[in-house]
Amino acid sequence: MYSRECSRRDNGNARMVPRLREAYILRDSWTKLNVMPAKIMQQENVLSELYSYTIQDPPPADVESVKATLHYLEACQKLFEKGLLSHEKVCDIDSKVVKSIKEGYSFFVNWHTNLSKDGELSAQDRRFISWQTFDLLRVCVYGFIGYTTWFLEEYPDHFVSPVRLSGSAVETLFSQFKHTRGGKLSATNYSTARAAHLVKHCVTFHDGSKGYRDVPLELSECILEKKKYKRNDK
């Protein structure tokens, strides 16, 4: 895709995926941690570029592999961009956000089923995503659907915002816990790390970032109250 984008640019044509960069293709150890390439791969302009490539006449030699990639990215888009990371409100369990999540997840279930017809897949089998990724995906999907079902039954006049339930807030919270413990967070020091975070949150004012998905996650059960001083106190 990047080669085709370079050809369009050299021929004076508009690029179909203008945000795609060479650094996102040939990545070093640092840029491998960048999530921007994964986000770009789920955008409509990427899917449109791949689709236009597959319908060429005559068909390219790698058309089947490109079609498989296209189906995979469409499933990812339904799961995340239009599902778990959607900004739309979920007012009922039959909303298009929930349907999109189920459709995207069904792709991975069918993928696993087709590969397992001849027996169970081993942990070393590279034809499927890693087991840890698949397990986390199941937890995210069933957890979100289960929570949304309970919430809308308990509070029918409210709605769920999927992007507010993303892992960014949780990861930020655990990062602060880990920093408090000098980079070594475990089950033995988790309670003290949590207590230290609550104290810091209580005695200092924190203005949460207004970034795209950097949502501060609040904790309850504050263990320390601010002392109220009178004006004549020293």
Q: What is the pLDDT of residues 18-36, one digit of tens each?
A: 889 888 888 777 667 677 8
pLDDT exceeds 70 at position 173: yes
Nearest CA to 78 out of 102, 49, 52, 48 is that of 102
With a CB cutoff of 8 Å and minimum separation 6, the contacts of 8 are 14, 15, 16
Q: Is residue 70 part of a domain?
A: no
Segments forming the whole domain that contains residue 194: 166-226
The C-alpha R_g of the chain, in whole angstroms, comes to 23
Express each pLDDT in 182-193 by its tens digit. Answer: 888 787 888 888
Q: How would residue 144 be classed by pLDDT, with cut points 50, 70 and 90?
A: very high
Q: Is residue 37 part of a domain?
A: no
How far apart are alpha carbons 38 and 157 in whole angstroms?
Answer: 35
Pick the most confident of 38-47, 70-79, 159-168.
70-79
pLDDT exceeds 90 at position 48: yes
Q: Is 162 helix (H, G, I), strand (E, B) or coil?
A: helix
Q: How would residue 102 be classed by pLDDT, with cut points 50, 70 and 90?
A: very high
Express each pLDDT in 63-79 by its tens digit. Answer: 999 999 999 999 999 99
Q: Is residue 30 part of a domain?
A: no
Q: Is residue 201 part of a domain?
A: yes
Q: Is residue 200 part of a domain?
A: yes
How far apart are alpha carbons 124 and 131 in whole angstroms?
Answer: 10
Contact criterion met (CB below 8 Å) for 149 and 167: no
How far apart are alpha carbons 74 and 12 in whole angstroms?
Answer: 29
Q: Is 40 helix (H, G, I), strand (E, B) or coil?
A: helix
Q: Is residue 188 within a helix (H) or strand (E), and if so which, with residue range? A: none
Number of domains in the chain: 1
Burial of 234 (C-beta count, 10 Å sphere; 0-12/13-18/19+): exposed
Tell me what the mean pLDDT of segment 131-135 comes to. 86
DSSP string, 69-125: HHHHHHHHIIIIIIIIT--S-B-STTSHHHHHHHHHHHHHHHHHHHHTTTSPPPTT-
Q: Is residue 219 part of a domain?
A: yes
pLDDT exceeds 50 at position 212: no
pLDDT exceeds 90 at position 153: yes
pTM value is 0.70
pLDDT exceeds 70 at position 227: no
Pick the most confident of 153-157, 210-214, 222-226.
153-157
Q: Is residue 84 part of a domain?
A: no
Express each pLDDT in 105-128 by its tens digit. Answer: 999 999 999 988 877 777 777 889
Q: Is residue 179 part of a domain?
A: yes
pLDDT exceeds 80 at position 10: yes
173: left (phi over 0), alpha (psi -120 to 50) or beta: alpha
Token pair, residue 69, equals: 């990639």
- The label of the residue with tokens 């209580």 reads 202
Q: How would residue 229 be classed by pLDDT, with cut points 50, 70 and 90?
A: low
Nearest CA to 144 out of 83, 187, 199, 232 is that of 83
